[in-house]
């Protein structure tokens, strides 16, 4: 295989290779993890004691440092007393892959230890609800404001300097304030996600909307569009695909604010679950829960990417685009049924008078 086939500068790789690399990007870290977990002479700094033997401070299932264990083993051997038994292991905070995999199943099956604690699926549901509400509330205000700022210099100059300032204030800093104002339950958490998302959202979307090709606006103007029609029929549809991509990225950012938001007030959601499991030293459950966040975020994004190709058929490369109707029907007026037509040669057309002759 030729070298430049894989490492061409700015050359699009064939689909098959893209897929191979995607799989590899997940497999490579997994392979490292497996190697550390299953190859005994890689790392494994501890001994798990299975039989304390004659060592008085060893107890069963205790983890001791490799050097200490070997020292005690040598001492027992020299003294001729019962030998301690054990096997090499990694620290408890690095469980083996199969344990985490098993935890994916058992974490959902394990009933909570305390009567009023939520199950894992309830914790996840709570987190998703918090994210969703925070993001929706942010978008309800941020999307129109961003489009307004991107369209009219007036609003840009009126809003953006303050927003620019505000976005440097870290959202977690408002935690105590939010609790004081909104109580200890969900509202302050939603507020934190709102604060973390909203200001970025306005600026990012305004910037995207500003990038609309001015040629399209001029073309629309020469066709008789003006004012609000220009916004609705040109600026919004021209920027909608890029705004949609922005929203996907912003949703990813909202997830990073989730953990902060959930420790505000009473700890809740997936953060609470992770915290409790870490306290019980169920680290396999901790990993499973963290991975769950990744899986939910990643699959949401994949879904939204696919949804994008359905919503915006003109962004599709294939010819099949013509058959699929965009879902954003409000951008286009309702269609009448196509009229059956005959195609005449150009020459046979009568002269077309555009105007009544004076």
Partner 1 sequence: MSLSELKLPDYREQSPDVSARFERIRKRPIILKVRELKKSFGSNGNTHIVFDHVSLDVHRREFICVVGPSGCGKSTFIRIVAGLDEATSGEILLDGRAVAGPGSDRGMVFQGYTLFPWLTVKRNVMFGLQMHGKALDTAEAEARQWLDMVGLAKFENLYPHELSGGMKQRVAIARALANGPRILIMDEPFAALDAQTRCQMQAYLMQIWKKVDVTILFITHDLDEAAYLADRILVMSCNPGRVAEFIENPVPRPRSAEQFISPEFLALKKRLEEHIHPPVEVPEKLPMIKLTEAGDEVE
From CA 330, how far away is CA 298, in angstroms rounded? 29
Task: Please report whether residue 340 would count as binding partner 1 according to CB under 8 A.
Answer: no
Give me 155's structure tokens: 């609003």
Q: For partner 1, which residue of 220, 267, 278, 296 counts as binding (CB under 8 A)?
A: 220
By CB under 8 A, what part of segment 240-269 binds partner 1? 240
Task: Please report whether residue 353 would count as binding partner 1 according to CB under 8 A.
Answer: yes
Please count the residues of this chain forming the interface with partner 1, following the rule CB under 8 A: 45
Dihedral over Cα of 217, 219, 222, 224: its sign: negative
Given a contact cutoff of 8 angstroms between Cβ atoms, the answer to whether 146 and 199 are in contact is no
Q: Which residue has the tokens 């951008």?
A: 331
By CB under 8 A, what part of segment 119-158 binds partner 1? none
**Binding segment toward partner 1, per CB under 8 A, in 39-47, 119-127, 188-196, 318-326:** 318-326
Give me 150's structure tokens: 């991107």
Q: Which residue has the tokens 């990694």?
A: 90
**Binding segment toward partner 1, per CB under 8 A, in 36-44, 65-73, 101-109, 226-234:** 226-234
Task: Please report whether residue 333 would count as binding partner 1 according to CB under 8 A.
Answer: yes
Task: Please report whether residue 12 would count as binding partner 1 according to CB under 8 A.
Answer: no
CB of 208 to partner 1, least distance (A): 15
Task: Please report whether residue 41 would count as binding partner 1 according to CB under 8 A.
Answer: no
* Antiparallel, parallel or unpaired: β 85-89 and 63-65: unpaired
CB of 155 to partner 1, least distance (A): 22
Nearest residue (CB) to partner 1, 9 versus 336: 336
Q: 116 Cβ partners below 8 Å, 6+ apart? A: none
Given a contact cutoff of 8 angstroms between Cβ atoms, the answer to whether 287 and 100 are in contact is yes
Q: Which residue has the tokens 């005449």?
A: 344
Q: 16 Cβ partners below 8 Å, 6+ apart? A: none
Q: Which residue has the tokens 């939520």?
A: 118
Nearest residue (CB) to partner 1, 1 versus 343: 343
Task: Please report whether residue 109 would count as binding partner 1 according to CB under 8 A.
Answer: no
CB of 143 to partner 1, least distance (A): 18
Q: For partner 1, which residue of 26, 41, 314, 330 counts as binding (CB under 8 A)?
A: 314
Q: 120 Cβ partners below 8 Å, 6+ apart? A: 107, 108, 110, 273, 285, 289, 292
From CA 175, how far away is CA 264, in angstroms rounded? 6
Dihedral of CA atoms 124, 129, 130, 136 in degrees, nearest 10, equals: 140
**Binding segment toward partner 1, per CB under 8 A, in 169-177, 184-192, 195-203, 221-229:** 221-229
Q: For partner 1, which residue of 182, 216, 267, 290 counts as binding (CB under 8 A)?
A: 216
**Binding segment toward partner 1, per CB under 8 A, in 98-106, 116-124, 265-273, 341-349:** 341-349
Over the Cα atoms of the chain, what is R_g? 30
Other CB atoms within a 10 A radius of the CB of residue 253 amount to 15
CB of 340 to partner 1, least distance (A): 11
Contact positions toward partner 1, by CB under 8 A? 213, 215-216, 218-225, 229, 233-234, 237-238, 240, 312-314, 319, 321-322, 326, 331-336, 339, 341, 343-344, 346-347, 349-355, 357-358
């Amino acid at each position: 295989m030729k070298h430049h086939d894989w490492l061409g500068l700015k050359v699009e790789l064939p689909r098959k290779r893209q897929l191979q690399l995607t799989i590899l990007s997940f497999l490579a870290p997994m392979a490292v993890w497996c190697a550390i977990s299953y190859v005994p002479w890689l790392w494994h700094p501890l001994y798990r004691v299975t039989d304390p033997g004659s060592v008085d401070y060893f107890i069963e299932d205790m983890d001791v440092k490799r050097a200490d264990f070997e020292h005690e083993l040598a001492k027992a051997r020299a003294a001729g007393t019962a030998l301690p038994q054990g096997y090499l292991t990694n620290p408890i905070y690095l469980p083996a892959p199969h344990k985490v995999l098993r935890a994916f199943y058992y974490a959902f099956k394990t009933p909570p230890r305390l009567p009023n604690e939520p199950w894992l699926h309830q914790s996840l549901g709570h987190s998703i609800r918090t994210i969703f509400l925070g993001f929706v509330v942010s978008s309800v205000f941020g999307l129109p404001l961003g489009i307004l700022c991107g369209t009219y210099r007036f609003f840009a100059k009126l809003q953006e300097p303050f927003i620019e300032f505000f976005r440097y204030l870290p959202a977690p800093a408002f935690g105590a304030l939010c609790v004081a104002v909104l109580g200890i339950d969900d509202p302050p958490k939603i507020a934190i996600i709102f604060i973390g998302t909203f200001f970025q959202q306005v600026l990012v979307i305004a910037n995207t909307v500003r990038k609309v090709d001015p040629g399209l606006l001029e073309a629309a103007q020469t066709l008789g569009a003006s004012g609000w029609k220009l916004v609705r029929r040109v600026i919004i549809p021209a920027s909608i695909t890029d705004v949609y991509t922005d929203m996907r990225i912003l949703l990813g950012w909202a997830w990073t604010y989730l953990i902060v938001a959930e420790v505000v007030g009473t700890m809740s959601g997936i953060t609470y679950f992770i915290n409790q499991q870490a306290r019980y030293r169920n680290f396999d459950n901790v990993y499973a829960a963290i991975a769950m966040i990744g899986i939910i975020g990643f699959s949401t994004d994949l879904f939204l990417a696919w949804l994008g190709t359905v919503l915006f058929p003109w962004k599709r490369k294939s010819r099949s685009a013509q058959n699929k109707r965009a879902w954003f029907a409000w951008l286009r007026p309702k269609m009448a049924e196509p009229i059956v037509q005959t195609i005449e040669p150009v020459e046979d057309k009568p002269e077309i008078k555009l105007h009544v002759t004076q």
